[in-house]
Structure 1
Amino acid sequence: MSDTSGTGSAGDCGDCTEHRTAVTEPEVEALVRGICFKTGPPRTLGVEVEWLVHELRTPQRPVTPERLEAAYAALRTVPLGSALTVEPGGQLELSSPPAASLMECIGTVSADLDAVRAVLAEDGLGLVGVGHDPWHEPRRFLRQPRYDAMEACLDRTGAAGRHMMCASASVQVCVDAGHEEPGPLGHERRWWLAHQLGAVLVAAFANSPLAAGQPTGWLSTRQLMWMEIGAGRAGAPPPDGDPRTAWARHVLDAPVMCVRLDGAPWEVPDGLTFRDWIRKGEPRPPTRADLDYHLTTLFPPVRPRGHLELRMIDAQPGDDGWIVPLAVTAALFDDPEAAESAYRAVKPLAERALALPAPHNPLWSDAARYGPADPELREAAVACFTAALEALPRLGATTGVTDAVATYLDRYVVRGRCPADDLLDSLRGTAARTHGKDIRP
């Protein structure tokens, strides 16, 4: 969601002549290829952690917009190493600066989260790590032209867009695109791996089984909402072949969310692709600034922004739950031996992803619905976590980080469970106590 990212941006919208000049299709293809895949040896890492904000004592009670605004005004005075942004529904996001190591990234964000929690606690508020708000209907906090246009656009496909904008939270890991050479750290391999491993990450870290206090039938309701938004806005291009060519074509053929007009309401065209806009030139020809903006309105599970932004992981429970998916993902992408092990582990899953690009294929939908209870996904997850555990010391991870990953592996993955199962168990336990009988499995 946020335009802030952990290791760079896809392009800045400015007032220079270059940004005001109309673009052609060949220019867009060249720009996208150069902007979105900056290749080289993997060197940096980033993470974006989103949180729902609730009452500390009674999380089921909605926080008023006035209280949120007051709390966020106080937060803006706190010096942080990460960029702090507010999402449309009032969720908070911290986006780390590019880090040279896993532990540097963890250290920066952990310190920032401590500072944020201290400020919120003074007003009786806290951060909740869950992928989808389990209690409240989506309610928009920010009133800005961008989000007015986004809501109008996404409403055409149903209510999922409002849930995504206002009721969801995630852990987004940002890794470098990789270098030009083939092999486990090459950009083509990393692009392919991100789309196959992504389903494993959805399953292993699913943590959003509830909406309006009731089970939805999906362990990652957040991922369900992304799928229901539609392939044009939240889908990936086919992962095979040259990533630059596939993504450039996808950008041109994706629907335009809005046309920004000076001194007038923004237009929200229906079905107008960026390629169509270039060819028609109406209501005005698109510019480089429009392309930069268009790139920020596409929400695939893996978004290339110079680096690769992995957007599929639900927000995690606990103060430090976000560290495990960050550590596992970093190890599987940036350690060559672990990357090769992950490639071998997820390769058998590829057949289930042939019908449609992610996340609209059976592999991804099964991951969101069943989590690691799916036998093939569980087998791949166990292999990937095991490879990550072996690699983490080589990446300089502390014993505390490796112990957290090992505990997660034993508590959840090898048992075919995920944090969503804990939430469902808790709900069943509450229902059992209410009805005077035990309905827990």
Structure 2
Amino acid sequence: MSAPPTSRGEPITDRRQLVTYLESGCKPSADWRIGTEHEKFAYRVSDLRTLPYEGPDGIGELLTRLKRFDWTPVEENGRIIALTQGMANITLEPGGQVELSGAPLETLHQTCAEVHRHLHQVKEIGNELGIAMMGLGFQPKWTRDEIPWMPKGRYRIMRDYMPKRGTLGLDMMTRTCTVQVNLDFGSEADMVKKFRVSLALQPIATALFANSPFTEGKPNGFQSFRSHIWTDTDPDRTGDLPFVFEDGFGFERYVDYMLDVPMYFVYRDGTYIDASGQSFRDFLDGKLPARPGERPLITDWADHLTTAFPEVRLKKYLEMRGADGGSWRRLCALPALWTGLLYDGGALDAAWDLVKDWTTEERASLRNGVPRHGLRAPFRDRTVREVALEVLSIARAGLKRRARNDNWGDDESHFLDTLTVIAESGQTQADEMLAKFNGPWQGSVDPVFKEYAY
């Protein structure tokens, strides 16, 4: 989740301005960047409890101490709720999940260095406070009622609205973590091709990163329960967007989709104003009940784009949203997967050749089957594991052709090694943890908090 918006920007007087906003993301390939975001569960080492905001070992104190690393605080109602450093942010998810929204960087080497630097910083503070962090897709032990909520205004609005639209929305907010990568496009046609490839292949990433097989201390029957949660969160703003594959799809069609996504809020003068369920189309006409007679600013449109949660999300770039939060190496592997597929022309063509004849029903079957079955989910005459091996081969070739070498002469393809091991073995981290649960852990999930801590 991004840092709080600012109530500034160009007033919107014409729908075309919304399209132009998305179009402005087009840039030449030399300017394409990689932005990695990853969320982490923070908890006390002593009792494994998730952290409240307040207190000597709470989230507020964690953020305060992180300022020593030249992070600038962002406050809401006198509390630090985010930190900024250049184009990077540290922000809070509703249940106290700590997120790094990394800067847009040129290479995966830089991205992985950023991940290392951030995790070293939070580990240093964590050691002082007696807290630790881990990257899993779903909180393995605590109930929804046992998760403290963070003091951010937008979360109060979402908390009240979510149960009206699905049964698992509050779990999504408080008990899930993800890693995602944000990537650029060169033109509308390039955006469309990348959008279609990444939507079709998002279940492959879900399978490779699946590590959320526990709920409240017991196996839940899923490889990625986090991914399943999105199927019952809010049908107005989630899903795999079949219209993206229809003829004529482009920026205008995505604007139409977003205009039909109900609003959550309007941000003015440091306050989130409840507009949940209201229409951005009415806002354009000056008829929004929450702000009668007022027309939106371009920043309101930018905020509204963040309130849709499809498997791939379009803003001024594309966000890959299908993966469970991961261990240290996997935080570098997710951007490597998508950079290899989408930032090399030959790889993008090969990936499109792989998925272009997949039907709407087949894509839906993948989306529905992978959360429960992971790499073992069937697809056509093979399994997702076999598809994953082909996808990883395409991505590796793309990274090798990018030829972005580090100081030791290594290209970026080695960041995929951890995923190749998973695909070749057919054993996800979810499988690994379930085997331990049924073996040396003796039916307890508590060892997760030590063995999978950063």
The verdict on a shared fold, with TM-score over 0.5 as the criterion, is yes
Distance 1:64 1:32, change over 3 A: closer
Contact 1:106 1:323 in 2 (8 A): yes
Note the 1:45-124 alignment, pairs <5 A. Answer: 45-56=34-45, 58-59=47-48, 61-65=49-53, 66=55, 67-68=57-58, 69-79=60-70, 82-124=88-130
Q: Which residue of 2 aligns with 1:40?
A: 28
Distance 1:414 1:264, change over 3 A: closer
Indicate yes or no: 2:285 matched with 1:275. no
Contact 1:178 1:190 in 2 (8 A): no
Equivalent residue letter for 1:40: P
Note the 1:295-306 alignment, pairs <5 A. Answer: 295-306=305-316
The C-alpha deviation readout for 1:217-275, integer Å capped at 9, x for no partner, is 221111111221123122354212323122111111111113557799833444x3322
Query: Which of 155, 159, 164 is residue 151 of structure 1 equivalent to?
Result: 159
Contact 1:342 1:384 in 2 (8 A): yes
CA separation in 2, counterparts of 1:93 and 1:332?
Answer: 25
Q: Secondary structure of the equivalent of 2:41? A: strand
| Shift, 1:301, TM fit | 1.8
Distance 1:85 1:64, change over 3 A: closer
| Paired-residue identity, % | 25
Query: Which of 243, 256, 261 is residue 249 of structure 1 equivalent to?
Result: 256
| Shift, 1:364, TM fit | 1.0
Q: Which residue of 2 aligns with 1:132?
A: 138
Structure 1, unpaired ranges of 5+: 5-11, 355-360, 435-441
Contact 2:286 2:295 in 1 (8 A): no
Q: Secondary structure of the equivalent of 2:373? A: helix
| Shift, 1:168, TM fit | 1.1
CA separation in 1, counterparts of 2:106 and 2:270?
Answer: 44
CA separation in 1, counterparts of 2:339 and 2:300?
Answer: 33
CA separation in 2, counterparts of 1:368 and 1:352?
Answer: 16
Query: Which of 197, 204, 207 is residue 203 of structure 1 equivalent to?
Result: 207
Instruction: Give TM-score, length-normalised by structure 2.
Output: 0.81
Structure 2, unpaired ranges of 5+: 72-84, 445-454
Distance 1:326 1:56, change over 3 A: farther
Q: Which residue of 2 aligns with 1:14?
A: 7
Q: Secondary structure of the equivalent of 1:231? A: coil
Contact 2:115 2:331 in 1 (8 A): no
The C-alpha deviation readout for 1:201-226, integer Å capped at 9, x for no partner, is 11111111211112222211111112
Indicate yes or no: 2:190 matched with 1:177. no
Equivalent residue letter for 2:353: R
Distance 1:187 1:403, change over 3 A: closer
Contact 2:90 2:100 in 1 (8 A): yes
| Shift, 1:32, TM fit | 4.5
| Shift, 1:151, TM fit | 0.8
Q: Secondary structure of the equivalent of 1:52? A: strand
Q: Which residue of 1 aligns with 2:74?
A: none
Query: Which of 374, 377, 380 is residue 377 of structure 2 equivalent to?
Result: 374
Q: How many residues align?
A: 408
| Shift, 1:348, TM fit | 5.1
Question: Could you say what the CA RMSD is over the residues aligned between the two structures, in angstroms?
Answer: 2.8
CA separation in 2, counterparts of 1:125 and 1:345?
Answer: 45
Contact 1:96 1:108 in 2 (8 A): yes
Contact 1:188 1:242 in 2 (8 A): yes
Distance 1:404 1:187, change over 3 A: closer
CA separation in 1, counterparts of 2:193 and 2:411?
Answer: 30
Contact 1:191 1:243 in 2 (8 A): no
Indicate yes or no: 2:161 matched with 1:161. no
| Shift, 1:344, TM fit | 2.8
Name whichever structure is richer in strand by fraction. Answer: 2
Q: Which residue of 2 aligns with 1:408?
A: 419
Q: Secondary structure of the equivalent of 2:236? A: helix
Larger CA deviation: 205-214 vs 108-117:
108-117
Contact 1:89 1:165 in 2 (8 A): yes
Note the 1:278-297 alignment, pairs <5 A. Answer: 278-279=284-285, 281-283=287-289, 284=292, 285-288=294-297, 289-297=299-307
Q: Secondary structure of the equivalent of 2:37? A: strand
Contact 1:331 1:338 in 2 (8 A): yes
Q: Which residue of 2 aligns with 1:229?
A: 233
CA separation in 2, counterparts of 1:264 and 1:48?
Answer: 25
CA separation in 2, counterparts of 1:433 and 1:199?
Answer: 29
CA separation in 2, counterparts of 1:400 and 1:55?
Answer: 38
